[in-house]
Structure 1
């Protein structure tokens, strides 16, 4: 317990440093199983975790089956159209009711294969043979357990401890920032599953900082969104937002395409975006680990499921508008964009796995952070706050860096 508390106190002390003195967290924060168990309760299960998008659950009986924190979960649309997060644990003898089912599919009823107890899609018990001699037995008393869930802008979230404030409140500013994309009306066009041999924080730190474009993505993303041009919004209690502006070259190509010139690779542009929104990648992480990205023609969402101190699973998805899917060149764009996404995803997988190996080394040091790694510092501050049972405070200042910071300094 003393060793665990020492890690916790180190995380809190590290996060208290100002940005220009920021360093990395202690390696044990990424490798120690006891610390992961602490984060699981204090950070992850106390927050909202994203499991699905409504486009994966279009009709009654559509489901996703997944396991998280030793809980067999079922995300399902019932016959009334409501999306629920149910336990797959049978109320009879604790059998997983879908032990061999595909990860996604469609069902009419939920049937436990052990003793054939049958449940409706809303989790209520429909039938159970040979229970007539059980005294005072009432089917209404034996539904599948459910977890607190909400649908926010088309995404299905679960809160394990049942205490998080509603997403409508937590993510109100987040919702305003992404409103033009109408992501609830989009559909998943590309998805890729990854088994990741690294800590969940390694993933979200890599996701949010674009300093590594200079290295890991030097031949891909850095050509259109140079790492040195990126900047972050001031601290928010419930999410982080960063800006990755396009190069002048790419801006010119997009303008020429809009005027009838050669098409830029990608999908049909999202209408109604501001000039800034249409010419950058907008990076977000909704605490604790909702990874979301906006561009001029799509949205990316990464479903991150922490498993252990050195492992997580990831589903990387691309969502596009129905208009984009109806375009004549959609299939060709889908093929080329899938390959592009796989290329930079693989670059990230290599560096993330390499970071985890390095963190286990006796020679690992506490590195200094660049100003371009401000999102990593903000992640630290969120973690430290949650380990103290609170949320970070909202910053009342201009950004430290970027065009808005420069304007404020004039």
Structure 2
């Protein structure tokens, strides 16, 4: 049996990582229908008998294409936080699932998600680097790659220009085109909604209400008041693994024992974690701080030696003594602590490649602290340290899925989130949601 090795570099700009070859075994893959039937079988097992998803769910191009059409494009995907485009004219260029997009703060104060594809000849009106040097009205600004400010959008190919709401403003030398009407050639507007300061898009335009989907998380996360928080740390990572590998790893706390034995496990031991009851649109995992770590944190805040941000005073007692991980299906990931919110923006690219942007949000009190930059540096180091551990294991897991030596294991009770994700995928294959046509799984506490 032949094997093709492809070298993948794990990392982001400014950080070097080891190279990991992925060996793709030339073996016949099961059909999408076979894989979905397997997922349904696994989802119907009780957690005590739980098994992971089949390897083909992470390696088969046809299955990934099914996910793109039936899960990813069909549901709400988070693109940005409003703090990243605070002023009229601010915009972000984002590519997701093959769609080149602009997230723009309009002159009328509205946030829109527009296509970057010019309706004239399919030119990307904001190619990397904002077009040619010195060309057009858009200026790059601080805030990461693809972040800019402009008064209008100008296609560098034939100088068609567009207002910030996407309407066609001017199109030179089109007077001889019979029946041509400028109103017919606006940039495509994608359906978007705001929740808690986050900007979501639904690419196929058919998803249900975002607000209704977020009912549970709205209650869970009210204490952070994220609409008033700001993104202060942003790191981009090239991930040579399937998007679900990252989602599962983010949500299950069992791997604190191994991958995070020096970082998270001493603070929030795996054995103390638990998953809340099953929901239709989200998962919540509770990771209480170890009593010794909690006592040390309180002492550091009392004597002014903490490296953390100021504690968020509006958090209820339960969130003052633990961190909590959240997934809003399919890809919106949050990890909330007593002093900050960590948000992962995940962009699936291919069967075994994803782009990840890890961010940290803080409130105005944290920004106003005189030693904010020092605390920010400590927070960034912490985030990078535990994420490097995740990158290594996720990359190795993807390699393992291609191996004929892989034997599908069993799930620990601490991996309840993986089982819930299986139940979510199974429900979507039935064109419904978890808990709609099956009893909801109870909380572990």
TM-score by shorter chain over 0.5: yes
Q: Return the alpha-carbon distance in structure 2 between the equivalents of residues 44 and 388 of structure 1.
A: 16
Q: Return the alpha-carbon distance in structure 1 between the equivalents of residues 227 and 316 of structure 2.
A: 19
Q: Return the alpha-carbon distance in structure 2 between the equivalents of residues 37 and 347 of structure 1.
A: 29
Give, in angstroms, the shift of residue 254 of structure 1: 3.2
Unaligned runs of 5+ in 2: 1-28, 131-144
Per the alignment, residue 369 of structure 2 pairs with: 327
Per the alignment, residue 125 of structure 1 pairs with: 168
- Residue 299 of structure 2 is aligned to residue 256 of structure 1: yes
Q: Residue by residue, what CA displacement relative to the aligned partner does 1:356-381 show, whole Å, maximum 9, x if unpaired?
A: 00011111111100000000100111
- Residue 187 of structure 2 is aligned to residue 144 of structure 1: yes
User: Which residue, out of 26, 45, 64, partners 1:36?
Assistant: 64
- How many residues are aligned here? 400
Q: Return the alpha-carbon distance in structure 2 between the equivalents of residues 204 and 398 of structure 1.
A: 21
Per the alignment, residue 166 of structure 1 pairs with: 209
User: Which residue, out of 348, 355, 358, partners 1:313?
Assistant: 355
Structure 1 residues 57-96: aligned runs within 5 Å = 57-96=85-124
Per the alignment, residue 175 of structure 1 pairs with: 218
Per the alignment, residue 285 of structure 2 pairs with: 242
Q: Return the alpha-carbon distance in structure 2 between the equivalents of residues 68 and 189 of structure 1.
A: 22
- Residue 46 of structure 2 is aligned to residue 4 of structure 1: no
Give, in angstroms, the shift of residue 64 of structure 1: 1.0
User: Which residue, out of 65, 70, 74, partners 1:46?
Assistant: 74
Give, in angstroms, the shift of residue 265 of structure 1: 2.4
Give, in angstroms, the shift of residue 397 of structure 1: 6.5
Q: Is 2:58–2:242's contact at 8 Å kept on the other side of the alignment?
A: yes
Give, in angstroms, the shift of residue 261 of structure 1: 2.4
Cα root mean square deviation, aligned:
1.4
Per the alignment, residue 348 of structure 1 pairs with: 390
User: Which residue, out of 386, 408, 414, partners 1:366?
Assistant: 408
Deviates more, 1:103-112 or 1:191-200: 103-112
Per the alignment, residue 339 of structure 2 pairs with: 297
Higher helix share: 1
Give, in angstroms, the shift of residue 238 of structure 1: 0.2
Structure 1 residues 101-112: aligned runs within 5 Å = 101=130, 102-112=145-155
Q: Is 2:278–2:441's contact at 8 Å kept on the other side of the alignment?
A: no
- Residue 63 of structure 2 is aligned to residue 20 of structure 1: no
Per the alignment, residue 153 of structure 1 pairs with: 196
Q: Residue by residue, what CA displacement relative to the aligned partner does 1:12-65 show, whole Å, maximum 9, x if unpaired?
A: 111111100000111000000110000111111111000000011111111111
Give, in angstroms, the shift of residue 166 of structure 1: 1.2
Q: Residue by residue, what CA displacement relative to the aligned partner does 1:241-288 show, whole Å, maximum 9, x if unpaired?
A: 010000111221233345x32433211111122221111111100001
User: Which residue, out of 303, 309, 318, partners 1:276?
Assistant: 318
Unaligned runs of 5+ in 1: 406-410
Per the alignment, residue 84 of structure 2 pairs with: 56
Per the alignment, residue 381 of structure 1 pairs with: 423
Q: Is 1:253–1:264's contact at 8 Å kept on the other side of the alignment?
A: no
Structure 1's consecutive aligned runs of 4 or more residues displaced over 6 angstroms after TM superposition are: none
* TM-score, normalising length: structure 2: 0.88
